[in-house]
Amino acid sequence: MANISLFSINAILILSTDDASRIYAKYYQAPHLPLNTPAHSTSFPGASPYQTLKEQKAFEKGLHEKTIKTNGDVILYDNRVVVYKSDGDVMLYVVGNADENEILLFQAILALRDSLTILLKNSVDKRTIIENYDLVCLAIDELCDDGIILETDPVTIVTRVSKPPAQDMANVKGIDLSEEGLLRAWDFAKMKGLERLRQGL
């Protein structure tokens, strides 16, 4: 039986269609190795197959050459399932393991494309992405954390990125920076994180 893991995504890439230059690239690695796994192993679920910048650039260049002339949405490249979408002068990629569920990865790429379309007001191109790089990074962080897909609803992603929660912002003026205040803030953040996990399950 194959190892079951939450780590679905190896990388999220945004490349220029012109020259395959990197606009955004994030390669994920599971934060903890499974028991009895060698330190430099890349065979466990959630392992990043491309450890160095040179390997990453070579992968991106080959991937761009393979996908720029095709009309599909899913390919198997370098023993990885890659789903991709072309939008304007950029290509969006979500890379997963060879045995990963293509439908799950496809939902992730659709969520990324649709949330960027909403955030960037239907202008998903290289210049707009660079000008709004902070929003793009936040949207991707809301979509995926350490290779684990958190959210695939673009409206939810956009809401979390574009507006701070009103009830939490009301108490910003009275921040207590003492040790006790920081412990209370930690407990509050932990409680909110657990609530989000419960909502996702």
**Residues 50, 146: one domain?**
yes
**Residues 101, 191: one domain?**
no
**Residues 115, 19: one domain?**
yes
What's the pLDDT at 38?
60
**Residues 90, 137: one domain?**
yes
Q: Domain with 26 in it: what CATH number?
A: 3.30.450.60
What's the pLDDT at 1?
43
pTM: 0.73
Write the DSSP symbol of residue 75: E
pLDDT 10s digits, 111-129:
999 999 998 888 888 999 9
* Residue at 69 is within a domain: yes
**Residues 127, 66: one domain?**
yes
Distances (CA, A) of 126 to 157, 161, 177: 21, 20, 41
* Residue at 97 is within a domain: yes
**Residues 173, 80: one domain?**
no
- How far is 153 from 118, CA to CA, in rounded Å? 12
Instruction: Give the residue numbers spanning the domain of 108.
Output: 11-154
* Residue at 5 is within a domain: no
**Residues 111, 33: one domain?**
yes
- Listed as ranges, residues in the chain with pLDDT below 70 are 1-4, 31-48, 163-179, 200-201
**Residues 135, 171: one domain?**
no
**Residues 116, 148: one domain?**
yes
**Residues 82, 173: one domain?**
no
Token pair 């399950």: residue: 201
Domain count of the chain? 2
* Residue at 185 is within a domain: yes
**Residues 38, 128: one domain?**
yes
Alpha carbon of residue 35 to chain centroid? 26
What's the pLDDT at 35?
56
**Residues 141, 171: one domain?**
no
DSSP 123-181: --SHHHHHHTHHHHHHHHHHHEETTEE----HHHHHHHHHS--HHHHTTSTT---SHHH
